[in-house]
Amino acid sequence: MWSAEMAGALRVTAAGPGATVQDGGRHLYLRYGVTPAGPMDWVAFRTANLAAGNDAEAAALEISVGGLDLLCEEAPLAVAICGGAFLWRREGREVPSPCCLVLQPGEHLTVRAGAYGAWCYLAVAGGFATPPEMGSRATHTRSGIGGLEGRMLRAGDLLPIGAALAPSIETYIEARIEAPWLAQPSPLERPLRVVPGPQDDYFSDAGLATFFEAEFELTPMADRMAYRLDGPLVAHSRGFNIVSDGIALGAIQIAGDGRPLVLMADRQPTGGYPKIGHIARADIGRIAQMRPGARCRFARVGVAEARAALLALEDEIVMTRAFLRPLQAELSSERLLAANLVDGFIDALA
């Protein structure tokens, strides 16, 4: 049982598949065969954490299109929600996303799939205080590590909250997150940037041209481990087996069937198929938010261009707190009367 001294908690009252606790990932253990896990859309994940006043890598909830129902218990909780066009409701009333809000004990918060997006995030001020394993709270369900017993969330789970709330409930202002970097065009409207290699020499000129010129569709064979794409076959020139080497986030393998396989957060540590390239980290969130049936294209970029895009995006994300404005829908006469709207005065006769 969790300590009675914890600073509030969220109770799961209903959970669809795919909802887990994730933090920034379980790093430095790939050499031992341990998958990092962590968020699928790191941009939305970090934005939610920073808006909640947390460290960017703090544990948060990752929720899939299966949805999630939560109940606030014991104490008020300041939360931030972000990611995709999901439908969020507090006590049945729709709230905008992304935004920050304060849940009172006894209040319900629900989320369901909306117009687009595959993943959304809920961060709570103080972070989720599930037991860390190997220095991380990230859930990897295939190995049963992290989160709550290494599994997806289910009805009845109690999610404890860290004690160090920042900002405090007393100073927390319910606000809409004005984050222009979250409103990105779909992968089809703007190609996903790919850095070629390290085995792009395993593909014929025709195969490379196909990959960078054709359109691909995400198949239903997509989960936290990998996204399988369908489209024109990408031709090899030197076979499709290599000596197994390390797999980085966003690696694009082309196996013997000639179809791209994009390795995601729960990827295997090593693989033996040639990698035609890697999705630029700045675009990982865009491909992560694709649903089966969505289409995309790829554009070749160099390391310098990919790095510049990442640094620009990082600069935008750290400005999250500057893009907060009060939720107009939440204003009431009671709240206005209780607020101090005067911060000084000028004596016109002086």
| pLDDT band with cut points at 50, 70 and 90 for residue 117 | very high
What tens digit of pLDDT does each residue of 281-315 get? 999 999 999 999 999 999 999 999 999 999 999 99
| Average pLDDT score over residue span 86-102 | 96
Sign of the Cα torsion 316, 291, 212, 277 reads: positive
What tens digit of pLDDT does each residue of 6-61 get? 467 999 999 999 999 999 999 999 989 999 999 999 999 999 999 999 999 999 99
Q: Please state which of the four CATH numbers 3.40.50.1860, 3.40.50.1220, 3.60.15.10, 2.40.100.10 is assigned to the domain occupying 192-313.
A: 2.40.100.10
- Cα distances (angstroms) measured from residue 184 to each of 5, 83, 101, 234, 324: 41, 11, 24, 28, 19
What tens digit of pLDDT does each residue of 187-206 get? 778 999 999 999 999 999 99
Q: Is the pLDDT of residue 5 over 90?
A: no
- Please, which residues bridge with residue 91 across strands? none
Entry pTM = 0.90
**Structure-derived torsion over alpha carbons of residues 322, 327, 328, 334, reported in degrees to the nearest 10:** -120
Among candidate residues 49, 118, 50, the one with its CA nearest the CA of residue 84: 118
Q: Is the pLDDT of residue 168 over 80?
A: no
Average pLDDT, the chain: 91
Phi-psi region of 126 (alpha: psi -120 to 50; beta: other; left: phi over 0): left
Residues in the chain: 350
Task: Give the DSSP letter of residue 36.
Answer: -
Q: Supply the pLDDT for residue 189.
A: 84
Q: What residue spans define the domains of the chain?
A: 9-183+323-337, 192-313
